[in-house]
Amino acid sequence: MDHHSRHPAIADLKARARRRIPHFVWEYLDSATGDERTLARNRSRLDQVRFLPSILHGEFEPDLRTTLLGRDYTVPFGIAPVGMSGLIWPGAEQMLARTAARHGMPYTLSTVASQLPEDVGGHAGDNGWFQIYPPRDRDIRLDILRRAREAGFHTLVLTVDVPVASRRERQVRGGLTQPPRLTPRLAMQAAQCPAWLNGIRKTGMPRLRLMESYADTKGSMPSNQHIGYLLRTSPDWSYLRALRDEWDGPLIVKGVMNPDDCERLAKDGADAIWISNHAGRQFDAAPATIEQLPAIRAATELPVIMDSGVETGLDVLRALALGADFVMLGRAWHYGLGALGEAGAAHVMDILAKDMAANMGQIGARDLSDLSGKIVEK
Ligand SMILES: Cc1cc2nc3c(=O)[nH]c(=O)nc-3n(C[C@H](O)[C@H](O)[C@H](O)COP(=O)(O)O)c2cc1C
């Protein structure tokens, strides 16, 4: 049966994925920090953005194509970095990289993915971005950059909204450990999810393989503490400048929420600004990203990317209309994988594109440059 008749919305994929992913993993994927107010705010503020419907504009086929940082994409959205993606759905990194390559979207591999850049890059084709959490040690940083580049990742994303680890209370209650271990309680949850468990039997229990490849070389701490030590530095402006010198491709800074930071980011070498509140996973008093978007758009000439809470093609249009050049999604792709395996990620892409086209028909927007005048309220 056609996926659209059974799962017309990402919400349908989410409901199915929830049944097929063990509870402790689900809590990792789907929780935010604190009382999850930022998560809720992302949704409620997106809903406030409305467009005026248009009449008598005749027939047309909406054009969803766009260009970002000198590259053409078939749609103005892509795949945000998600750590331990392969725990959420076994093999996720390769599956998402292939989906991105097939459909002309960017795929961002996280530093804390469960797969190595060498093992994912070939699947992403020319669509691979690499997200870096800043390693403390310069040699390690240089080596990671080299490995990412050699594996074919051409665009670097520096995430700056994790200056400290956040407290994800729901995730803690769920019982996930680092590295993940199936305690008897968690093994019982896993046993109820045979497709997930079969996948894990094939891939092995996911680990932070990139960082583990450095853990052995330095000192004698237990490897999980050591990875935290290697990674958990809070970068400053000089770190950004160093990274700029060390990376010769496009550099995007992810996790920007304050328009006042934009000028300095441009001066210190950022090529694009990625507005994100990490889907509410870091700070429960943060504004919604869509709230910050107009001011950040006004503050910079750089391309602006937005994520956090995008759930429909209409949400993508909302962000573009308020000045974003590109939109990213994190959790939605994993709902697709959890529901339908690799085909589910392609289905997420299709749902978003069809929903964009249907709503552009209502608004009378022929292409993406035709959206900003159509906003009625925000
Ligand atoms: C389970 C999970 C893990 C994440 N891991 C990372 C990461 O390793 N690096 C990063 O920059 N952002 C990470 N993020 C944030 C996403 O890149 C993205 O900003 C966010 O998910 C977008 O919101 P959405 O899930 O509502 O689309 C993670 C998000 C989730 C849900």
pLDDT in tens, 32-86: 999 999 999 999 999 999 999 999 999 999 999 999 999 999 999 999 999 999 9
Strands (E), the chain: 50-51, 66-68, 71-73, 77-79, 107-110, 128-132, 155-159, 251-256, 272-275, 304-306, 326-329, 375-377
pLDDT of residue 378: 52
- Spot the catalytic one: 3, 123, 226, 278: 278
To the query of whether residue 278 is one of the catalytic residues in this protein, the response is yes
Residues 306 and 327: beta-carbon distance below 8 Å: yes
Average pLDDT of the chain?
95
Among 369, 362, 374, residue whose Cα is nearest residue 57: 362
| Angle CA 123–69–280, to nearest 5 | 75
**Nearest residue CA, atom 26 of ligand 1?**
309
pLDDT of residue 232: 63
Task: Using most ligand atoms within 8 A of CB, pick from 331, 337, 352 the residue to mutate for ligand 1.
Answer: 331
Residues 281 and 37: beta-carbon distance below 8 Å: no
Whether 40 is in the pocket of ligand 1, judged by its Cβ within 6 Å, is: no
Whether 334 is in the pocket of ligand 1, judged by its Cβ within 6 Å, is: no
Over pLDDT 70: what percentage of the chain?
96
Q: Which two tokens stand for residue 101?
A: 């390559």
Q: State CA 94 to chain mean position distance.
A: 15
**Full-model pTM:** 0.97
What's the total number of domains in the chain? 1
Q: Please report which confidence band the pLDDT of residue 1 belongs to, taking 50, 70 and 90 as the band edges.
A: low
Q: Where residue 94 sits, what CATH number does that domain have? A: 3.20.20.70
- Classify strands 375-377 and 71-73 as parallel, antiparallel or unpaired: unpaired
Q: Please report which confidence band the pLDDT of residue 178 belongs to, taking 50, 70 and 90 as the band edges.
A: confident
Residue 271 belongs to what domain range? 3-376
Residues 306 and 319: beta-carbon distance below 8 Å: yes
Over pLDDT 90: what percentage of the chain?
89
Q: Is the predicted pLDDT of residue 188 greater than 90, yes or no?
A: yes
What's the 374 CA to ligand 1 centre distance in angstroms?
30
